[in-house]
Each structure stands twice: as structure tokens, then as C-alpha cells.
Amino acid sequence: MNIALKNPLAAEHDIPAYSPSGQECALFESAWIRRLPLLLKGPTGCGKTRFVAHMAARLGLPLSTVSCHDDLAAADLTGRYLLKGGDTVWVDGPLTRAVREGGICYLDEIVEARKDVAVVLHPLTDDRRILPLERTGEVLEAPPGFMLVVSYNPGYQNLLKTLKPSTRQRFVAIEFDFLPRDREIAVVSEESGLDAARVAPLVDLAHRLRALKGHDLEEGVSTRLIVYCASLVDSGLSLRDAVIATMIEPLTDEPDVKAALIEVADAIIR
């Protein structure tokens, strides 16, 4: 199979920064070479989307990202007929464009989409690698350079929003988690410009708040939020105000829970 692994024209500074935590980069490249669909599992804000952007740039592939939501239907991905200048014309959706032209189609938080989306994906995630378009009568065969990547957060699922085993087993899967303390400090420092010594208590606070997930909180503090916090501190905002705005307020609307989180924060960042 004659597929280049990198775009020789892509400069290093064009590739989004990403700090690997294991063999995920090698797994991604192998899955792409073998034309296998990929499933990324992990908590919100742990780097899944950045990882896909990093790998797309590293491989020199166009990337189409779709943020899935409750109202996202199969037609939003495949396309639909629209009125243009008095004529009815077919307009490809992002998935169809990626299948026609090649590249990565990334469906972020796939479990948020409607159930009919999984039905559309099934023929693309087995040995057929086809996309039937019932409205146009076409059956598109995915080119060698096409790759389907989806992600979801297993910890945020409920009984109504799960990925069926019959769908999960069509993908190669990579599990993501937050980086170890020292590496997370390094990443946040690099992304925000704040020195590592001042980032360290922010990461320690995030680790403490993550331990509350499933008790007082639905979600823990993402690495993204720590970067936001460090960026505000680096810009001159007080540490406490930055923490409340980025690591407390986004997590809860409950006054009692918020007050308890602020007490935890005050004990760590004082």
C-alpha cells in the first residue's frame, strides 16, 4: 500500500502541539495505513480533539470536524437537497465530502447525535467502506486516504446516550485520560506562558476537584480549563479570580457546591 505518512510540505510549526501519553500516535498512523476507523474514549478536555488535529497535520490530511449534538441527524452528515436560485440541488454534508475527496472526518461526542447517524456509519466501518446515499442513488466508495474518527466521553453517558456494543466493535479504540501531574504542568505552562512553578498549584487543584467527579460534580476540571486559568493569571488577573472564573464557575451552578469548591481552592492556592 503506497501511502505517505507525512506531508513533506507541512512545516513543524503548522502542526498543533500535542504531548503523547503512550502509543496513540503510532496506533493512529497504523489505523490510517490499514484503513481502519478509530474511536477515541476519554473525559472532556483531556486532548482528544487536539490529538486528531495534530495527527491530521502530521499526516498532511484535510480534517473535517463535526461537533455532534442532540439534533444532529444522518442528513446533516450525508447531505440534502436545497433550493438555490429557484433550482433544487444536492449539497454534500461533511461526511460525504470527506468520502468523496479523502481526509479525516472527525465526529466529536458521537453519542450526542441521533440514532440514525450510527446506521449511516456502519457501512463505512467494515470491509465495504462505502457510503450509500439513498436520496441520490449513489454508493460512494471511500478512497484510501479517507479515515473516520469518532470520540465520546464514557463517564458522561446515561442510559439514553450510550454507544452500542455493535457500533463500538467496528472501531479500533484508544482510551485517553489526563496527563500525569508533571507533564500536565509542562503542557499548561507551554500553552499559557505561565511559569511551571505558578502552574503547579493550579494542576494540584484540578486533581483535587477531579476526585469529586461523580459525587458533587458531573465533570472534573479539564486540562483546557487549567490552560484558560493560567492564561488569565499570566495576563495579570488575580489567581483567586482566575480560578473562580475558569475552574469553579464552569463546573456547577449550585451555590452550596460552588462555595465548597471555593473553600477547596482557597486551601490549595493560598
The pTM (predicted TM-score) of the whole model is 0.87
Q: What's the first-to-final CA gap in the chain, in angstroms?
A: 58
Give the model's pLDDT for residue 161.
67
pLDDT score at 12: 55
So what's the pLDDT on residue 39? 97
Rounded CA separation 118/106 (Å): 14
Q: In this predicted structure, what is the pLDDT of residue 156?
A: 60
Distance CA 101, CA 96 (A): 9
The pLDDT of residue 108 is 96
pLDDT of residue 237: 97
Cα gap 62→269, rounded to integer Å: 42
Predicted local confidence at residue 86, as pLDDT: 83
Q: How confident is the prediction along the chain (270 residues), in pLDDT tens digits per residue? A: 444 444 544 455 578 989 898 899 999 999 999 999 999 999 888 999 999 999 999 999 999 999 999 999 999 999 999 988 888 999 999 999 999 999 999 999 999 999 899 999 999 999 999 999 999 999 999 999 999 999 998 876 554 567 888 899 999 999 999 999 999 999 999 999 999 999 999 999 999 999 987 777 878 899 999 999 999 999 999 999 999 999 999 999 999 999 999 999 999 987
Angle at 112 between CA 95 and CA 79, to 5 degrees: 25
- Residue-level pLDDT at 5: 45
Q: What backbone torsions phi and psi does residue 148 show, to the nearest 5 degrees? A: -100, 125
- Taking the CA atoms of residue 190, residue 193, residue 194 and residue 197 in that order, the dihedral angle to the nearest 10 degrees is 40
